[in-house]
Structure 1
Amino acid sequence: MTRVPRLTASLVALGLGLVAAGCAGNDPLAAGEPGEVDTTLTIGSQGFAESDILAYVYGLVLADHGYEVDYQLGIGAREIFIPALRDGSIDLIADYSGNLLRAADPDATASTPEDVSAALPQALEPLGLAVLDVAPAEDADALVVTAEFAERHGLTSIGDLAPIAGELTIGSNTEFETRSYGRPGLADVYGVEGWTFLPIDDFGGPATLDALRTGRIQVADIFTTNPALQDGDLVVLDDPERLIAAQNIVPLLSEALLTDDLAGVLNPVSAQLTTADLTALNAVAAGPDKPSPEHIARDWLVENDLLEH
C-alpha cells in the first residue's frame, strides 16, 4: 500500500518554500550543488539556548567518534526544520517527543512518555524521518501565572482559568495559538475560551517573563526546564487531563541516515540526559558568565564521561 505523507498545511507550505528558495540559490539552509557529495552531518537547533546546547551535546560526541560535523543554529520552529530535514538541508536536530508526534500526526492522542515514544516511529515513517532513543529528560510547555495572580483567583490547574478566560491575555511563540494545546485544546479540554493572544517569539525567555511579571500578559507558555520557574514568584498550572503531551528530548533525523553505528554513538548520550541536567544547563546559560553553548555542552559531556578524546 502506498503511504501518503501526513503533513499539516503549514509544513507543506514551508517545505515547498524551502525547495523553491533552494532552487533560487538564496536559501541559507540549502544543500550543496547537484552532484556534490557532502559527508558532513549538519546538526540543527531551533534558536533558543537549550536547543543550541543540545545541538552541541550530540554534535561533539559525533565528532569525537570520527564524524564530520557542522552546525546550523537558529533554524526556527518545527514548521521549518521538518522540511529542512526532509530536503537534506540539515541531518539531525534534538526535538521534543510530544510536539513532534502531533506535527507528524495531528490525530495522535498519545500523551504519556511511553505512549508517545511508541507512536513516533510509525508516525514519522511516511515523512522519511526517524528518531533515536528518547531521553529521560523532559522539557514540556507549561502554562504559568504569577504567584500573586494564582492566589488572587484561586488558580491551581489550567481548568481554573475558564471562569476568567475572557479577561486573560496569554503570551507565547506565534505558533502556540493554533497548536493542539493552544486555542483548540484549551477550549475543548478545559473550556478556556475567549482569551486574547500576544505573540512573544522568545520561547518563554526574558521578554515573555517580563510581560508576565509586569502584567502585560496574565498567562505565559514557558518551558518546564526554565530556571526562572525555581524563583518562587511563578506558578505552573497543573494539567490533569494531559492536554500537553510528554515532551522528552529525542534526536530526529532522516530515515536514510539512521545506522546502527549512529545509534550506538548517540543513544548512550540520551540515556544519561535527565530533566535535572537540562535545568542545570539552562541555568548556566542564563548565568552572568554567559558561556557558549559549545562550552556548556562540552563540560556536561566530560563530567559524564561521554567524550573519549
Structure 2
Amino acid sequence: MTRTRFLAAGLLLAAVVPLAACGGGSDPLAPATSPAAGSTGGSTGAAGSVKIGSADFPEAALLGEIYAQALEAQGRSVTRQFNIGSRETYLKAITGGEVDVLPEYTGSLLNYYDKNAKVVQPDEVYAALQKAVPQGLTVLDKSTAEDKNSLAVTKETANAWSLKAIPDLAAHQADLTIGAPPEFKTRQQGLVGLKSVYNITPKEFRPLQSQATVEALKNGQVKAANIFSTDPSIVANGFVVLEDPQSLFGSDNVVPLVRSDKADSVKGVLNTVSAKLDTMSLADMVKQVVVDKRDASTVAKKWLANVGLA
C-alpha cells in the first residue's frame, strides 16, 4: 500500500497506512475478514446482493462503507468484506468472484497492471487504466478525490540534508534508510521506481506497517518514509513531503473497480458517489475515523446525507 495513492489536506489527521499490506494465499478471504470499525455486516446471501471489499487500511474500508451505504439507500442488498489485505491479495478476491466492488486508486492500479505506463495526468491515467484492467473487470467514473504515495522526511532531515525533492536523496544514499510497507520493496511505485527513475538505492529498507512507519520516521529510525498524501501525520508532525519531479507516484484518484457483470447494476449509484467525493471531504472523513475515533459507518452516513445520497 505503496498510493499505489495519500494532496496534504491541511487537516490534523492521524496515520493512514499506505496502500498495501502483506497478503497472499489461494483464498484471499480465508480466514474470514472483519468489517470496518463500526460497520455492519449488511444483508447476506440475498439474491442479487453486491459484495463490497476493501484493502486493509482505514481509508479504503471507509470508502467501502460509503459505497455500501449508498447502494443500500437505493434498496440494494450489500455484503461487506472489508480489510482483505494488500492489492496483491484483494484483486484475487474480485477476479475470483468473492467480491464485486472495490475502492481503488487510478495510478496505483494502472501501475499494477502496466508497469511500463508513462502517463501521469489524471485523465490520461484514467484512460490508460480503462484499457489495462483485465477482462471481466471495469472501472467506473473516477472522483476528484486523490490520495497518492509520497516520500516524507522530518524537518530536521530536510534541513540537514538540504532536501526539497526526491532526487536530492541521491547524495545521501549511504545513510538513507526508508520505511514503508513490505511490498514497497518490489513495486515500481517503490524501491524499483526509485532506482529506475531517480537512480536511488537506500542503504537499508525497513518493512513497516501502519503507525509504526510514522513512529520510525519521528524517532529517526528511518530517514524517509512512504506515507499517503492525505495521511494526517504529515501535518500533525510537520513532515516534509519531497517533490516528485518525474511523477514516480503520479496521480491517484479514487475509483470504483467492479466486476463487469455487476457494472450496470451499480454504476448509477457509484458514479454519483464519485461525482460528489473530493480530496478535502475524504481527508476530513479519514480524520474523523482515525484521529477522532468515530465509527466509520456513522461518518459515511453523515457524508452521504450531506451530499443528498442517503
TM over 0.5: yes
- 1:181 is displaced (CA, Å) by 2.1
Measure, in 1, the Cα distance between the counterparts of 2:174 and 2:162: 16
Aligned counterpart for 1:128 among listed residues 136, 154, 160 = 136
Structure number with greater Rg is 1
Moved over 3 A (4+): 26-29
Q: Which residue of 2 aligns with 1:148?
A: 156
Matched, 1:271 2:279: no
Is this contact kept in 2: 1:86–1:128, CA < 8 A? yes
SS at the partner of 1:258? helix
Name the CA shift for 1:107/1:64 in 2 (closer, same or farther; >3 Å).
same
Query: Where in structure 1 are there 5+ consecutive unaligned residues?
Result: 1-12, 30-35
Measure, in 1, the Cα distance between the counterparts of 2:185 and 2:115: 15
Aligned residues: 277
SS at the partner of 2:103? strand
Aligned AA for 2:246?
E
Q: Which residue of 2 aligns with 1:303?
A: 306
Measure, in 1, the Cα distance between the counterparts of 2:218 and 2:185: 21
Measure, in 1, the Cα distance between the counterparts of 2:181 and 2:47: 34
Q: Deviations over 1:214-265 (max 9, x none)?
A: 0111111100111222235210000011011211000001112110x42111
Measure, in 2, the Cα distance between the counterparts of 1:48 and 1:14: 16
Within 5 A, what are the aligned runs for 1:103-182? 103-124=112-133, 126-182=134-190
Within 5 A, what are the aligned runs for 1:252-291? 252-259=257-264, 261-288=265-292, 290-291=293-294
- 1:104 is displaced (CA, Å) by 1.6
Q: Deviations over 1:131-164 (max 9, x none)?
A: 1100000000010000111011100000000010
- 1:194 is displaced (CA, Å) by 3.8
Aligned AA for 2:96?
D
Is this contact kept in 1: 2:154–2:218, CA < 8 A? yes
Measure, in 1, the Cα distance between the counterparts of 2:140 and 2:201: 38
Aligned AA for 1:100?
L
- 1:120 is displaced (CA, Å) by 1.2
Measure, in 2, the Cα distance between the counterparts of 1:64 and 1:306: 7
Measure, in 2, the Cα distance between the counterparts of 1:37 and 1:274: 32
Within 5 A, what are the aligned runs for 1:22-171? 28=32, 38-124=47-133, 126-171=134-179
Is this contact kept in 1: 2:50–2:78, CA < 8 A? yes
Aligned-pair RMSD on alpha carbons?
A: 1.9
Q: Deviations over 1:267-302 (max 9, x none)?
A: 1111111111111111111234x1111111111111
Q: Looking at secondary structure, tell me which structure has more helix per residue.
A: 1
Aligned counterpart for 2:295 among listed residues 268, 292, 297 = 292
Is this contact kept in 1: 2:73–2:309, CA < 8 A? no
SS at the partner of 1:163? helix
Q: Deviations over 1:104-124 (max 9, x none)?
A: 222222221111100112111
- 1:213 is displaced (CA, Å) by 0.3
- 1:78 is displaced (CA, Å) by 0.8
Measure, in 1, the Cα distance between the counterparts of 2:99 and 2:31: 12
The normalised TM-score by structure 1 is 0.85
Aligned counterpart for 1:240 among listed residues 242, 245, 265 = 245
Measure, in 2, the Cα distance between the counterparts of 1:243 and 1:302: 37
Measure, in 2, the Cα distance between the counterparts of 1:14 and 1:164: 34
Is this contact kept in 2: 1:86–1:127, CA < 8 A? no
